[in-house]
Structure 1
């Protein structure tokens, strides 16, 4: 076999072997690496490159080396799941960079981080002033976790005591002009409902690049032609407006009638409508 063809065969074989080994080790091997996994990854790549190009070497020796270097971190991961000391040694511990609003200079030096690098990590977390930070921890993966001071944290609906509707996962029901039946059935809908919603929007299925249904059953679409504007769904705003109008009409009737019984009836139902508004408003607001 010519040398160039031997190199092609070896390279393709090791590409397949490395792919299978990576799938075997799991997603962690390509996302968050510990020091041990980082060294192992470099070694495996070096073995593969050496054997792929080294025609004098036995190809199966390289495969044995890759299997060994793949099996060791897998075994280490299994053991570390059951033993925290081993896990801490292999994966490392987090290092506190800011505590109670004060920068821990000794810890910065220990991890060989400069002040500029700390500020860069903070900016990546959308924090531009150290004084706004209550606590910051450098994770073993190199990411910086940041807790802002209470007065610097964004307000939430819970802080304001406002009720909010629960959020459900949106489902993609149209992709590249094709209807996806499985997501539709997941949310209890069908093609007839989808075609009806598209008809309301005045859009044909084949013109839709992407269509999604949110947790409230509302369809939004993105068209292939970006110049065409699709009107936002109006069902929920219209329903909310009608409920508000009904509540206001009941209050008006209660004020305008001279009958005590009718006034009491209109007032009672106006209060019920107001209670209903408080419940459904978070679901009907955009």
Structure 2
């Protein structure tokens, strides 16, 4: 009977700790977790599970690695928050898998994304024809974002937190010099000043970083 009480107590304590840690890590759906998020969540769950099963091990030996994993994840989140290149290296970029009604076979192969997966996700969104699609992006989370022909066009960000996305510039047929000239005309002389920028309806839209 004592073991049952001990298991119940350890389960309750670990449940509270894991709940608090996950809450502090931020609100993200399971399908939106990065690889690092997923790895940390699995490790925390494994540590908690072993602590419940192993009654001979002091509870603190399970709490310490859970807290350590949280600290590692928290510091990593702070680091990549200000480092777009690091975010792209860890999470990856959205990939165009359909462009102007044609499936981009090379990108499908590179992402190891097969036609069965593609058509399943299209069916789930009620889309029956590839030819009706202007662009479809495979997001970092594995979800498919679809923009159909004849509807509002998608807008790609050109600058995110001071970082210029050269791929998006190339995609819209522009280059870095064009962007610099456009910003200079707006009285902006450094990309680092820009929090967000996009090009819509042949006009540059931007938001400057908040002053500290």
Q: How does 1:120-269 map to 2 (within 5 A)?
A: 120-150=120-150, 153=151
DSSP 3-state at the match of 1:28: coil
DSSP 3-state at the match of 2:56: coil
Q: Partners in 1 of 2:109 and 2:80 — Cα distance?
A: 28
Q: Partners in 2 of 1:8 and 1:87 — Cα distance?
A: 40
What is the deviation of 1:30? Answer: 4.8
What is the deviation of 1:133? Answer: 0.6
8 Å Cα contact 1:22/1:29 also seen in 2: no
TM-score normalised by L of structure 2: 0.67
Q: Which residue of 1 aligns with 2:57?
A: 57
8 Å Cα contact 2:100/2:131 also seen in 1: no
8 Å Cα contact 1:96/1:104 also seen in 2: yes
Q: Which residue of 2 aligns with 1:3?
A: 3
DSSP 3-state at the match of 1:112: coil
Q: Which stretches in structure 2 are left out of the alignment for 5+ residues?
A: 153-212
Q: Partners in 1 of 2:31 and 2:103 — Cα distance?
A: 29
Q: Which residue of 2 aligns with 1:12?
A: 12
Going by fraction, where is helix more abundant, 1 or 2? 1
Q: How does 1:16-35 map to 2 (within 5 A)?
A: 16-28=16-28, 30=30, 32-35=32-35
Q: Which residue of 2 aligns with 1:44?
A: 44
Cα distance change, pair 117–99 in 1 and its aligned pair in 2 (3 A):
same
Q: Which residue of 2 aligns with 1:198?
A: none
Kindly tell me the number of residue pairs found equivalent between the two proteins.
Answer: 152
Deviating 4+ runs (over 3 angstroms):
none
DSSP 3-state at the match of 1:12: helix
Q: Partners in 1 of 2:68 and 2:29 — Cα distance?
A: 16
DSSP 3-state at the match of 1:58: coil
Q: Which residue of 2 aligns with 1:205?
A: none
Q: Which residue of 2 aligns with 1:89?
A: 89
Deviations 1:179-225 (A, max 9, x none): xxxxxxxxxxxxxxxxxxxxxxxxxxxxxxxxxxxxxxxxxxxxxxx
What is the deviation of 1:95? Answer: 1.3
Q: Partners in 1 of 2:90 and 2:60 — Cα distance?
A: 30
TM-score normalised by L of structure 1: 0.51
RMSD: 1.7
DSSP 3-state at the match of 2:74: helix
Going by fraction, where is strand more abundant, 1 or 2? 2
Q: Which stretches in structure 1 are left out of the alignment for 5+ residues?
A: 155-286
Indicate the structure (1 or 2) with the bigger Cα radius of gyration.
Answer: 1
The higher relative CO (CA closer than 8 Å, separation ≥ 6) is in 2
8 Å Cα contact 2:14/2:48 also seen in 1: yes
Q: Partners in 1 of 2:81 and 2:113 — Cα distance?
A: 29
DSSP 3-state at the match of 1:8: helix
